[in-house]
Amino acid sequence: MKNRIIIANWKMKPNLAETLSLAEAYKQQFAQFQKSDVVICPNLISLKEVKGIIAGSIIRLGAQTVFWEERGAYTGEVSPGMLLEAGCEYVIIGHSERRKYLRETYDQIHLKVKAVLAVKGLVPIICIGEEGKDRKTDKRDFILVDQVQQALSGINISKDQQVIIAYEPIWAIGSGVAIEPEEANYAHKIVKLTLSELFGEEITANNFRIIYGGSISSKIVDGFAELEHIDGLLVGGASLDTEEFYRVAQSMLHNKG
Ligand code: PGA
């Protein structure tokens, strides 16, 4: 059975000094932790230094974005190979904040997923999710199916590759209002069915993890930890408080789904 995973997305919230302090605090907090799948995603320019801080701990490193080419005249961008060199094992792709503020498109997300999977040792975390106006409408399922298909159709997933799909309803991100756990469970089932059609049941079961993100906190995490179709969480705001994030991780990784 695959392990559940918990991912901290620090966004552009802590500055450089705060990022390093947070990494130190995480290292201390998780020193005795029994499970291993804990990932932190700091800003790009802190990656190497953070890697040094968390060395020797169970904490893994992830980036918040990536470009789809390995080298070239792409001012300001960072390639999958560079992230690997910096010590990353994970990278978030297509977060709704990037789709909103940088106009990132599903064509670009597709290219990024492909480029990341071409680099051995880097796992893409692909974000999908509907807007508030589409919640509780017939359109919602279609939107999720379409987003998964656009990101992944035509890409081959081999037995040694891992992919994470993060279902993050846009209206729930940073709003303080999470989805009802059962609603997430249902959405994850839709994603699973779509993946099964694309890659078959075996690859879907063994190589994909479907996680939830959006206003997760220790107050509500237990309801999510109990769900059948959930392989982990992507946590924003609550991940900036080390003890709060630890409580979320305890519940999610130690409770059985
Ligand atoms: P949030 O962010 O937990 O603050 O809602 C989640 C995310 O954007 O990944």
pLDDT in tens, 166-213: 999 999 999 998 899 999 999 999 999 999 999 999 999 999 999 999
CB atoms within 10 A of CB 13: 15
What is the C-alpha to C-alpha distance for residues 50 and 71, in angstroms, rounded to an integer? 24
Active-site residue identified among 104, 130, 168, 244: 168
Among the atoms of ligand 1, which is closest to the Cα of residue 176?
5
Give yes or no: 168 in active site.
yes
Instruction: Find the mean pLDDT for residues 88-102.
Output: 97
pLDDT of residue 256: 54
- Best of 5, 9, 240 for a ligand 1 pocket test (most atoms within 8 Å of beta carbon): 9
pLDDT of residue 1: 57
Strand partners, 90: 62, 123
Q: Could you read off the pLDDT of 50-75 as tens digits, one per residue?
A: 999 999 999 999 999 999 999 999 99
Assign 138 a pLDDT band (cuts: 50, 70, 90): confident
pLDDT of residue 90: 98
Span from the CA of 18 to the centroid of ligand 1 (angstroms): 19
Check pocket membership of 244 for ligand 1, CB cut-off 6 A.
Answer: no
Residue 245 to residues 207, 217, 235, 242: CA-CA distances in angstroms? 26, 8, 8, 5
Is the pLDDT confidence value at 220 over 60? Answer: yes
Is the pLDDT confidence value at 34 over 90? Answer: no
Instruction: Find the mean pLDDT for residues 97-114.
Output: 97
Check pocket membership of 43 for ligand 1, CB cut-off 6 A.
Answer: no
pLDDT of residue 2: 82
| C-beta of residue 39 within 8 angstroms of C-beta of residue 30 | no
Check pocket membership of 216 for ligand 1, CB cut-off 6 A.
Answer: yes
Give yes or no: 95 in active site.
yes
pLDDT of residue 47: 98
What is the C-alpha to C-alpha distance for residues 128 and 168, in angstroms, rounded to an integer? 6
What is the C-alpha to C-alpha distance for residues 165 and 7, in angstroms, rounded to an integer? 12
Ligand 1 atom 2 nearest Cα: 236
pTM over 0.85: yes
Instruction: Find the mean pLDDT for residues 85-94.
Output: 98
Share the mean pLDDT of the chain.
Answer: 96
| C-beta of residue 128 within 8 angstroms of C-beta of residue 213 | no
pLDDT of residue 136: 82
Span from the CA of 72 to the centroid of ligand 1 (angstroms): 32
pLDDT of residue 257: 46
Among the atoms of ligand 1, which is closest to the Cα of residue 9?
9
Is the pLDDT confidence value at 252 over 50? Answer: yes
